[in-house]
Amino acid sequence: MYKVGWLDSHAHICGKEFKDDLDKVIQNAKDNGLVKIMIICSDLSEVEKALELATNDEMFDVAVGLHPNDQKFLTDKDWDLFYEYAHNEKIIAIGEIGLDYHWHKDNVEKQKELFIKQIKLAKNLNKPIIVHSRDAMKDTYDILKEHKCKGVMHCYSGSYEMAKEFTKLGYYISLAGPVTFKNAAKPKEVALKVDINKLLIETDCPYLTPVPFRGKRNEPMYVKHIGKYISELRNIEENELKEHICENYNILFKKF
């Protein structure tokens, strides 16, 4: 059985932004009722630290993936190391992986190639994927439809209609800090209407800090402000949301 509480399904806590005070950040998370943090390693140099944390404390899970924003800079050696990590049983998901046409429009085909290669590996390993999609919703959908896998649309920023389509493919929808931003109409609509059995929450820290801490460095403890906001929006008890989120997380990542 798993613990029920707030959880952060996407946190970059082994990145350089946390190198001076990670212990404090972890303690803050525990003090604020978090029961689980999925550590996302986009930089392969972060994996060893993440594995050490996960080995010593069941609060942590680890995911590793080659991010579309790094596609241009990756070498064969990076792929080999990623491939080795992907097989590690302590690494329970592949991500974040996907497409980013906001920052990189000139290497679309290469991004798709890297995305598909990692989806195929995840399928072979029977591990879910954590999907990054920025200004690339249609291509992301087409690829996920063709290459069937399971996973989560992280920091989802698309429409409710598209969210429904992703859930039909077997994907969960994870909402981050922007749902609390005043003018973010789309995430609010998704938060209100998406099937609660397909919903996850995350900080994507160190970025995208939710209200009322917008502008500060983000960290896992702030996920509770995202959860509280969604509970109020849906007019349900916080505990009910926690139960759903924890169940969804465990179905996706532990019983895949």
Q: Which of 172, 241, 185 is nearest to 5 (CA)?
A: 241
CB of residue 243 vs Zn ion: minimum separation in angstroms?
25
Output 22 or 232, the one with its CB closest to Zn ion: 22
Q: For residue 95, give the 3-state DSSP assignment.
A: strand
Residue 206 neighbours by CB distance under 10 Å: 18
* Alpha carbon 224 to its chain's center: 16
Q: Where does this chain touch Zn ion (CB under 5 A) — which range of 111-119, 192-200, 201-209, 238-246? A: 201-209
Which of these ranges, 71-79, 121-129, 157-165, 203-211, lies near Zn ion under the rule CB under 5 A? 203-211
In eight-state DSSP terms, residue 181 is: S
Q: Which is nearer to Zn ion, 46 or 204 (CB)?
A: 204
Minimum distance of Zn ion from residue 177's CB (angstroms)? 12
- Residue ranges of alpha helices (H) inside 63-159 are 76-87, 108-125, 137-146
Q: Angle formed by the axes of helices 238-254 and 223-234, to 10°? A: 120
Binding range to Zn ion, per CB under 5 A, among 104-112, 168-176, 196-204, 234-242 = 196-204
Closest distance of CB 85 from Zn ion, Å: 17
Comparison of 61 and 204: residue with beta carbon closer to Zn ion: 204
Rounded CA separation 78/66 (Å): 9
Q: Which stretch binds Zn ion (CB under 5 A): 48-56, 70-78, 80-88, 198-206?
A: 198-206
Residue of this chain nearest to Zn ion (CB atom): 204
Instruction: Tokens for 126, please give them.
Output: 């029977």
* Residue ranges in contact with Zn ion by CB under 5 A: 204
